[in-house]
Amino acid sequence: MVPEKEVVEHRPGLLILYSDGSFERPSDLDVPACADFDTSPNGVATRDVIIDGAEAGIWARIFLPRAALTLGRRSLPVVLHFHGGGFCIGSPSSAHIHRTCSRMANKSSCIWISLYYRLAPEHPLPAAYDDAFSALLWLRTQASLVMVEEREPTVNCLNDDGASKMKADPWLSEYADFSSCFLSGDSAGGTIVHFLAARASGENLSPLHMKGMLLVHPAFPQEAPRSSMELSNVKVSFFHTSALPPGAPFGHPLMNPLHPESPIDLAQLTLPPALVAAASNDPLLPGDVAYFQALRRAGHEAQFFESQGMGHCFHTCYDESSPAFAGSINALERVMVSFIERNRIMQGDTPGRPRAEARRSTELRTEILKQGVIRNPIQVQPCEQVS
């Protein structure tokens, strides 16, 4: 008789791990894509595209803001986004992820592309990093196809064998400004952003131009957690163990770029400017601060922002209708928008972008600095572990 599998770990509403190693995720509250601005509940058009369907089943959801209709052709920066969930849960169609990307697409007037990557423990790291790199190469291909279409608009769309030639995604072809691309990620997604940027360092991504990376509450665990270290009722150690290959110790270099045995030397990388956003009540705050300081010591441009009195990824768990969180959500997202606008303007041409946005970016920066919520590298102090 085959013994019944037993529940080893149960996190209500999130995941169940069984004694035979199998994993169960409850059904997400999925939001279907809607390509119509007028019928979409938030005014953002969305559609799903295949990135690598043949092998890994990787896909992405494109979030197109209504601003696309007024800002001009090929004028919207592109943000390649990676959701959080401890490398184990989540999808671009999950309600909270869809809501967050829709909100940011609207506020930033950017095209957001949210990736579905393979999840642990079925696919432990570095599977998610490999999928992220595949998505970046897919985006480079899209940019190249747009260049070909621009150069040869009347070329026959069939190959010699009669098969259709590859064409760029119509939304990206019409609206994307590939000279202004950004990487973004929350929690585990922020970890993916770092390792993707490191892997792409020195890579010829032309005609893509990477202008910045946004790491929001990234997961860079520095030490084994205490029992009280929990994120939304999910133990850090549980996600850590599930995401890494069997037997990997806590703080393994696959997840912690600051590990003494990490093969990656930050000083040797070519990285775009970084925004590291943290929260004062997040157990992962010390790792976020340490990562920011390491970037600065290695000579990279980096900005640090800390949401006071907030916990891990509060901006994805709640929306602006929650009075207790609305102010903090708006402050964080204004910093993100300011970072995108400033780095796009400072590092290159901004086709189709009104000059007023440059002034607004400067005004936002000044206002935020007055609030005292952005720390410069001199002001950042080592943090005690938050219990």
Contact present, 83 and 97 (Cβ < 8 Å): yes
Residues 6+ apart with CB under 8 A from 234: 11, 14, 15, 86
The Cα-based distances of 130 to 125, 192, 197 in angstroms read 9, 10, 12
- Among candidate residues 177, 186, 282, 288, the one labeled active-site is 282
The beta-carbon contacts of 140-144 under 8 Å, at least 24 apart in sequence, are 140/205, 140/206, 140/207, 140/208, 141/166, 142/168, 142/169, 142/172, 142/173, 142/176, 142/178, 143/176, 143/178, 143/207, 143/208, 144/207
- Among candidate residues 91, 312, 338, 361, the one labeled active-site is 312
Instruction: Look up 312 and say whether it is catalytic.
Output: yes
Edge-first strand listing for the sheet containing 15-18: 7-11, 15-18, 23-24
Residues 6+ apart with CB under 8 A from 26: 13, 14, 15
E strands of the chain, at which residues?
Answer: 7-11, 15-18, 23-24, 45-52, 58-64, 76-82, 111-116, 176-186, 210-216, 230-231, 234-235, 274-279, 302-307, 374-375
Query: Cα–chain-centroid distance for residue 270?
Result: 19
Instruction: Look up 30 and say whether it is catalytic.
Output: no
Tokens of 100: 């967050």
Instruction: Look up 282 and say whether it is catalytic.
Output: yes
Tokens of 150: 């621009």
- Among candidate residues 93, 108, 184, 187, the one labeled active-site is 187
Element (H, E) at 149: helix 127-151
Give the span between the Cα atoms of 26 and 89, in whole angstroms.
10
Helix (H, G, I), strand (E, B) or coil at 359: helix
Q: Which residues are identified as catalytic? A: 187, 282, 312
